[in-house]
């Protein structure tokens, strides 16, 4: 994804301030939020806005206000389990990114029925997105595009949608995050054309002449203990038995606590993962049910073996990631980050949230805390996943 001599490069001057602008509002009223964001983002070449917001807002009012203040500018977004702003971690606010149309050609669509989405649907959708991006003659699609997905985080359909999209996107790198709702696990939404939708997904195709890199990382390390899923409902992501014992009871035994003490912070501290080839993919637990079954954020099936995992040092893992990114891109202009909410709970419980927040601020990360992440067609948990975008002029600029 190297920068290239694009058709308008010799005729258009694009300043770094206009390539990507960021905004944040802590207003409580929808009108105030929309006004705040418009004041910070609007300029003559604004072509697209991506935002992440707390589910505490009156979403219907917020949708109307954003539509009114941004007029013909396209906006998409989703609710979150915490926001990442230019100041670092935040809550109960809206964080947004504005893209200059001279540097980014962005096409997007809504999948409003995730349960019926097929490979044919995905192929047709990707073709439409590609056609829209190509029509702007900004940069060749191949090698200069990435996709971003925002999925309803409580839909239980992420894997099906992602598998179809991954096949349709082919070599185009793809990442994304599942919408949250401030850890209430009740209603999650994506925003498209003035309205918030549930049971839906947004697909964005981003074409740019700027350098970028799509990435994923995690700090979770394997232990020796194994749990076999012996009874599960894969469609509901619900595990009834582990090692032929009630699932919650067996998991509680593994981590050494009574069942009644299980909750998000313990789930973050004692994750489970499935091993595929040499890689471990975390399958985070969402909740304990009354019948002692466990509901997961990712798909689980009968017969899979789950490995007990433990968190390693989180901040050094992030530092190593950004060191690698800077070696390739130079200091990033911006990183769009999808950060699992369990990671944030972990650092908050350990008293390290301020340090991690400061690091994200220095690295120009804008994004949200998710109920799941997506990377090249795979639905994953407890990761930091996203795209780093290089500055105009390339490495060393």
Same domain, 277 and 353: no
Is 149 within the bounds of a domain?
Answer: yes
Check residue 157 and give its pLDDT.
Answer: 80
Question: pLDDT tens-digit profile of 302-336?
Answer: 999 999 999 999 999 999 999 999 999 999 999 99
Same domain, 263 and 381: no
Is 74 within the bounds of a domain?
Answer: yes
Same domain, 294 and 267: yes
Is 396 within the bounds of a domain?
Answer: no
What is the pTM assigned to this prediction?
A: 0.90
Q: Would you place residue 12 in the very low, low, confident or very high pLDDT band (cuts 50, 70, 90)? A: very low
Same domain, 180 and 288: no
Same domain, 251 and 335: no
Check residue 304 and give its pLDDT.
Answer: 95
Is 3 within the bounds of a domain?
Answer: no
Q: Which domain holds residue 41?
A: 20-217+316-389
> Which helix (H) or strand (E) segment is 265 a member of?
helix 264-269
Check residue 386 and give its pLDDT.
Answer: 98
Question: pLDDT tens-digit profile of 68-120?
Answer: 999 889 999 999 999 999 999 999 999 999 999 999 999 999 999 898 899 99
Of 267, 295, 310, which residue is a domain's last? 310
DSSP state string for 341-369: HHHHHHHHHTT-HHHHHHHHHHTTEEEEE
Mean pLDDT value of segment 261-288 = 91
Contact 382, 102 (CB under 8 A): no
Q: Would you place residue 395 in the very low, low, confident or very high pLDDT band (cuts 50, 70, 90)? A: low
Of 261, 288, 310, which residue is a domain's last? 310
Structurally, the chain folds into a number of domains equal to 2
Is 85 within the bounds of a domain?
Answer: yes
Check residue 394 and give its pLDDT.
Answer: 60
Residue 3: pLDDT over 50: no
Residue 184: pLDDT over 90: no
**114 vs 50, more confident:** 50
Residue 121: pLDDT over 70: yes
Same domain, 142 and 283: no
Question: pLDDT tens-digit profile of 210-256?
Answer: 999 999 999 999 999 999 999 999 888 999 999 999 999 999 999 99
Mean pLDDT value of segment 258-264 = 95
């Amino acid at each position: 994804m190297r920068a290239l001599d694009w058709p308008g490069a010799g005729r258009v001057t694009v300043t770094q301030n206009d390539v990507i602008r960021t905004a944040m509002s802590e207003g409580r009223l929808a009108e105030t939020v929309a006004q705040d964001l418009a004041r910070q983002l609007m300029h003559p070449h604004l072509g697209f806005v991506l935002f992440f917001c707390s589910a505490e807002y009156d979403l219907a009012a917020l949708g109307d206000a954003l539509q009114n203040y941004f007029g013909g500018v396209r906006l998409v977004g989703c609710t979150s389990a915490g926001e990442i702003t230019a100041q670092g971690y935040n809550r109960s606010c809206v964080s947004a990114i504005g893209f200059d149309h001279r540097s980014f050609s962005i096409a997007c669509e809504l999948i409003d029925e995730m349960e019926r989405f097929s490979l044919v649907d995905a192929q047709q959708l990707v073709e439409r997105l590609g056609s829209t991006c190509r029509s702007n003659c900004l940069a060749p699609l191949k090698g200069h595009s990435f996709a971003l997905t925002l999925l309803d985080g409580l839909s239980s359909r992420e894997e099906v949608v992602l598998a179809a999209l991954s096949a349709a996107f082919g070599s185009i790198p793809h990442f994304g995050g599942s919408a949250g709702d401030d850890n209430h696990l009740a209603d999650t939404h994506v925003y498209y054309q003035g309205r918030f939708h549930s049971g839906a997904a947004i697909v964005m195709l981003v074409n740019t002449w700027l350098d970028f890199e799509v990435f994923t990382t995690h700090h979770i390390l394997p232990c020796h203990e194994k749990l076999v899923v012996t009874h599960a409902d894969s469609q509901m992501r619900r595990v009834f038995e582990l090692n032929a014992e009630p699932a919650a009871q067996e998991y509680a035994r593994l981590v050494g606590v009574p069942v009644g003490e299980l909750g998000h912070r313990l789930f973050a501290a004692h994750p489970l993962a499935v091993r595929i080839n040499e890689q471990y993919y975390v399958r985070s637990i969402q909740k304990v049910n009354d019948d002692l079954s466990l509901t997961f954020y990712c798909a689980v099936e009968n017969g899979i073996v789950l490995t007990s995992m433990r968190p390693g040092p989180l901040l050094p893992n992030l530092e190593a990631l950004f060191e690698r990114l800077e070696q390739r891109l130079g200091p990033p202009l911006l990183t769009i980050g999808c950060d699992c909410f369990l990671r944030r709970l972990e650092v908050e419980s350990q008293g390290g949230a301020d340090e991690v927040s400061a690091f994200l601020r220095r690295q120009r990360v804008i994004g949200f805390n998710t109920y799941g992440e997506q990377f090249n067609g795979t639905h994953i948990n407890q990761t930091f996943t996203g795209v780093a975008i290089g500055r105009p002029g390339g490495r060393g600029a």
